[in-house]
Structures are given as C-alpha cells and as structure tokens.
Amino acid sequence: MRAELERIRQTALAALDSCPDEAALEQVRVRTLGKKGDLTAVLRGMREVPEKERPAIGELVNTVKAEIEARIAAVRSRLDEQRLARSLSEERLDITLPGIRFPRGHLHPLNQMLDTAVDILVEMGFGVEEGPEIEDDYHNFEALNVPRDHPARDMHDTFFVVGDKLLRTHTSPVQIRVMESRKPPIRVIAPGTVYRHDDDVTHSPAFHQVEGFLVDEGITFGDLKGVLSEFLRRFFGPETRVRFRPSFFPFTEPSAEVDIGCVMCAGTGSQPDGAACRVCKRSGWVEILGSGLIHPSVFEFVGYDPEKVSGFAFGMGIERMAMLKFGIGDIRLFYENDLRFLGQF
C-alpha cells in the first residue's frame, strides 16, 4: 500500500510539473483526486489493510493528498500568471484614440412644458398641490357641481375602476381637497396626469393638466383675465394675443374659453402659399384653456360662504400647449419614445 501511494504521488507530481494548460491540469486532478481517481481507489482498499497499520496508512494518504492539492494550486497560479502575461503582451490599447461619447439625456418635452408652466405660476404667487390619481366620484364630479345625471359627464370619457372609484378625468378634484382642508385666501395650482377614454391625433388616454384656482374676498373676472393674460404671454411670448370667449363648465359661472393668436400662422389664418392654416383653419385663433369664476355651489360643497368669498379657476392641457409651442400635429409623437423626435428638444 505504501509503495502504491508513493507511485501515485510521483506520477501526479511529474504530470503536474509538465501541465501546459488548464485542461491538462484538470485531467491530472480528476485522474488523481476524482471520485474514480487513484487516491480514491486506495481509500476504498483500506479495509484490506491490517487494523494496526490503518492509522499510519490513513495519515500517509492525507499527506500525499495535501501535497498533490498544494502542487495543483501552485500550477494553477503559474498558469494564471502566464495567461495574464500573454494577454498584456498581445492585447495592446491605443490610449491616443478618442473615447466613445455617450449622448446626454434631457427632460422630455412634456416635462419641459410642465415645468415651464409651473415655474411661471409659482412666480405669480401660486403654491403647488397634488392629489390621488385614483379618485372617488364625489371629488371628481359631484363636489364640482356635476351630479350623477348631469349631461356634462358625457364630456368626460371616464375610466371606472371599481365601485365609485375612477381614474381622475381632470386635476380639479385637488381643488376640492385643498378647499376642504384650508380656509381662504388660497392660491394653488395642481399639475398632474389625468385619464380619459380617448385616443387620436389630438387626444391621448393619459395626458397632463395644470389646474389653478384662487379664492379670496372680492375676486372678480378681471383678476382672472389679468392672471391668464400674463401667464400666456410669458409662456408663448410677449406679443401673444389673448381673447376670452363665453363658454360653459358646470363648476364655473360665468365660464370662458381662452384663445391665443395662432402660433402657426402668426394669426393670419393662412400659410405662406395662401392655403388655410391647418391649425386655426383661417380663424387666426387657437383655443388653449378653459376658465371661469368658481360656481357658488362648489363653495357650498366645501363649506365656504359664497356671499363672503369668490374665486376663479382655470385648467390647461400640457400636451396641447406643447403642440402649439413646438408646432407638432400629432400628440402620439410624445409617447412613442422615438429618439429622432425627442432629440429635437
């Protein structure tokens, strides 16, 4: 048994000393130390060794195994060093070549427009409030003077979730939540995502709005006109023409839609070739947002006395603002994530 162990030792060490690569090293390891290797076979034959000699033979087996394992580790280290040396000598880098430039990211055009609108209104004294995107029927409709049987609900193609829960169709519910928790004077804007079941070149099922409202004593329609005229001229440019048209919204009275001079044709109504402007259709005006004095019924829902306070509210779609600002004819371009499109902004 001793002679066999010495033969295994010498054979393994000689083979390890001449290993040219990792594959040969692994073959020696398996042949010597594997489950069917030479040393394993010796251990299986220990039952044939006289009982008195077994401790000495066992110790000798462990000594041979440890020596072979140490030599395997040394050979593996040598092969690793040789491989690294070859890599350093064969794979050279030209550090004078220019590096790879990665394009810098930037804000999405809708975020740019949203930030611009919010910044202007904050400079004008408005605070910013947010609310849940999953709303209840009361805050989204009823408290805004839109009862369940009101025809104005048809203006909102609503995504209902479960029971009276729905995806908010505008950010106006934030107005209700703020007025429920605070007393006048209040000057707040509510930017955020809203949802309607609508999808074409000018509508998206998910889009962005900025709702704004101001409540205090003695607020008039003149205050509304002054705030919105100043805002639109800051947003689109100081020469922007602004006009107010009578309209209807259930939560404001009186109500008005606000137009600006068409930015595509400079208010002329025609293209340079004489064709009708595709945006304003020769009118020279483009509708930009809705507004009005807050309806007394809305004040009653939140516990305000409409005889003592008054206020105005307005709401605008950021996508529409961006389309006019950048001259974009299809709202879906904002959501396709085409870098050729987004890279222009």
pLDDT in tens, 89-101: 777 777 888 888 8
Flag the least confident range among 125-134, 176-185, 217-226, 277-286: 277-286
Q: Which of 105-109, 124-128, 237-241 has the highest mean pLDDT?
A: 124-128
Whether the per-residue pLDDT at 200 is higher than 70: the answer is no
> What's residue 19's pLDDT?
85
Dmax of the chain from CA atoms? 115
d(CA 242, CA 233): 8
The whole-number pLDDT of residue 210 equals 95
Instruction: Tell me the CB-side half-sphere exposure of residue 107, using CA atoms within 13 A.
Output: 8
Q: Is the pLDDT of residue 156 over 70?
A: no
Taking residues 291-295, what's their average pLDDT?
95
Which residue pairs, CB below 8 angstroms and at least 24 apart, start in 42-47?
42/1, 42/4, 42/5, 42/8, 45/1
Tokens read off for 69: 């394992």
Q: For residue 213, what are the contacts with CB-CB under 8 A and spacing of at least 6?
A: 175, 186, 187, 188, 294, 311, 312, 313, 314
Flag whether pLDDT at 155 surpasses 70: no
pLDDT at 37: 78
Question: Of the given ranges (26-30, 56-60, 213-217, 308-312), which has the lowest mean pLDDT?
Answer: 56-60
Q: In the predicted model, what is the mean pLDDT of the chain?
A: 86
Residue 1 pLDDT class (50, 70, 90 cuts): low
Strands (E) located in 91-131: 127-128
Mean pLDDT of 326-334: 84
* CA 259 to chain CA centroid, nearest Å: 32
Residue 84: CB partners within 8 Å, gap ≥ 6?
none
- pLDDT score of 312: 96
Average pLDDT over residues 221-246: 93
Nearest CA to 114 out of 300, 312, 285, 322 is that of 322
Alpha carbons 227 and 243: distance in angstroms, whole number: 13
Q: Which residue has the tokens 């009005």?
A: 292
Burial class (CB in 10 A: 0-12, 13-18, 19+), 291: buried
Confidence (pLDDT) at 164: 86
Q: In this predicted structure, what is the pLDDT of residue 152?
A: 64
Check pLDDT > 80 for residue 205: yes
- The DSSP element (H or E) to which 13 belongs, if any, is helix 2-17
Higher pLDDT, 308 or 60: 308
Q: What is the pLDDT of residue 172?
A: 92
Q: Indicate the pTM of the whole model.
A: 0.67
Two tokens at 174? 């934030």
* Displacement of CA 99 from its chain's centroid (Å): 29
Mean local confidence (pLDDT), 148-158: 72
Q: Is the pLDDT of residue 135 over 80?
A: yes
- The residue with greater pLDDT, 198 or 243, is 243
pLDDT in tens, 111-122: 999 999 999 999
User: For residues 255 and 248, is the Cβ–Cβ distance under 8 A?
Assistant: yes
**How is residue 24 written in tokens?**
């040969």
In the predicted structure, residue 259 carries a pLDDT above the cut 80: yes
Structure confidence at residue 201 (pLDDT): 63
Confidence of residue 202 (pLDDT cuts 50, 70, 90): low
Q: For Cα atoms 298, 304, 305, give the angle at the middle one, nearest 5 degrees.
A: 105
Q: Which residue has the tokens 């779609």?
A: 317
Residue 180: the pLDDT is 94
**Residue 2: predicted pLDDT:** 73
What percentage of residues in the chain have a pLDDT greater than 70?
A: 97
Mean pLDDT of 171-178: 94
